[in-house]
Structures are given as C-alpha cells and as structure tokens.
Amino acid sequence: MSADKSTSWSYAEAQPAENDVLRRARERSHELGLFPVSQGVAATLTVLAAASKAQTAVEVGTGAGVSGVALLRGLGPKAVLTTIDPDVDHLKAAREAFLESGSPANRTRTISGRGQDVLPRLTDAAYDLVFIDADKPSFPDYVLQAVRLLKSGGLLIINDALDKDRVSDPAIRDASTVVLREVGKMIRENEDLFSAMLPTGDGLLLAVKR
C-alpha cells in the first residue's frame, strides 16, 4: 500500500463539505458526549439511501441525528425513517436536527427504547434499509433482527465494523473487537446475504439480502 494512503484517506473522508444542519447536529452530538458517524460515513449513507431508493428505513442508535439527517437527505420524499434510541436527550437533539433539515415530521418515527426491545416488534420483511450504530454487544442480535426485517433486495449497513482498525489484528481480544469480528463472520457466512466492507470512517459493513 502506498505511503500516501493516509493523505488520500483524509482527503476522501472530508468530501463533500457538510451543510450547516449537519454541522450543528455534530456540535450537539459532541455536547452530549456522543461520537456521530464520520463525514465520509454520512456522505456514504446519503448515497446508499438514494441509490437503494429505500421507502422504509430503520436506524438503531439515533444519537443526536447526524446519521439520520444523512439518511433522510438520500431517502425519497415519501420514505419514512424509523429511528430507535433509549436516551430521551439524544432523541430530543435528533428531532431538532430533523426539523432543521426541513424534513416533514411524518417522515421520521422516533422511538424511545432499546433496540433489543423495539426491533422484535417491527414487521417481518417490511424494510428496505437497516442502519446499526448503537451498543456493540447487541450487534449480533441486531443483525439477526435486521435480516428478518429486510425485504429481498434490502440493504443492511453496520457502522464501526472495523472497531478503530482493531478487527484485522487477531491478537486484539477486546470485547467490542471480538463482537465486531463475530458480526463480520456471521454476515460473510450467511448465504442469504451479499456483503462488502468499506473502510470508510471506522468501517462500514454493507450487506444486501438476496
């Protein structure tokens, strides 16, 4: 790999420049002590939401709404984003970001609750896109639920899939790294999924349900 890779990497992550709505959502995230998706991940989410023409999307881990605003930007005008988070302060900040983004209130369904409790209540094969960016120990359960929720052709997106470059080093056995390695294996070995890992941000694992 060329020595200029890290320069190219920083360049790619900073494309394109973010608008004021995303910048303010990032500020609110940092005030709440949250780590929102990177600039590169936000841009990728917008592209994936637009390219998939998703009408129904689910997000686990709303935070202060950076990823939600990015998804809403790419989703069609009639699409609905269901976003789940147990923290009411995070949801309040996210609602502010969604409002500022100009998205009509009926395009977002914010659910206060834990992914483990809410996902099992959602309908089978009713969603075009599922994005996971919440508590890492639950990622394997979220993947199982996502496969159930997705329609055929639906897209699963998992954030932080490389766990800050630790997943590729088998000597690292931290709990979060082990979980994310397990999630990667689960997805690669699932014959109902086509998958690819993008190194964007801290790793974006994509899978399409056949």
Ligand X SMILES: C[S@@+](CC[C@H](N)C(=O)[O-])C[C@H]1O[C@@H](n2cnc3c(N)ncnc32)[C@H](O)[C@@H]1O
The contact set with ligand X (CB under 6 A) reads: 29, 34-37, 60-67, 84-87, 90, 114-116, 133-135, 138
Q: Burial level of 73, CB count in 10 A (0-12/13-18/19+)?
A: buried
**Which CB sits closer to ligand X, 8 or 19?**
19
**Which CB sits closer to ligand X, 6 or 19?**
19
Q: Helices H, strands E: what count in the chain? A: 8, 7
Shortest distance in whole angstroms from residue 77 CB to ligand X: 22
- Tell me the three-class secondary structure of 142-173, residue by residue: HHHHHHHHEEEEEEEEEECCCCCCCCCCCCCC
Shortest distance in whole angstroms from residue 60 CB to ligand X: 5
**Which CB sits closer to ligand X, 26 or 209?**
26
Shortest distance in whole angstroms from residue 61 CB to ligand X: 3
Q: Tokens 């009411």 label which residue? A: 88
Shortest distance in whole angstroms from residue 26 CB to ligand X: 8
Q: Is 150 left (phi over 0), alpha (psi -120 to 50) or beta?
A: beta
The DSSP bridge partners found for residue 195 are 207
**Which CB sits closer to ligand X, 117 or 192?**
117
Inter-CA distances, 133 with 22, 78, 81, 107, 191, Å: 17, 24, 14, 20, 24
**Which CB sits closer to ligand X, 2 or 142?**
142
Shortest distance in whole angstroms from residue 175 CB to ligand X: 15
CA atoms within 13 A on the CB side of 18: 24
**Which CB sits closer to ligand X, 28 or 209?**
28
Shortest distance in whole angstroms from residue 114 CB to ligand X: 4
Please give the residue whose beta carbon sits closest to ligand X in the complex. Answer: 63
Distance CA 115, CA 94 (A): 17
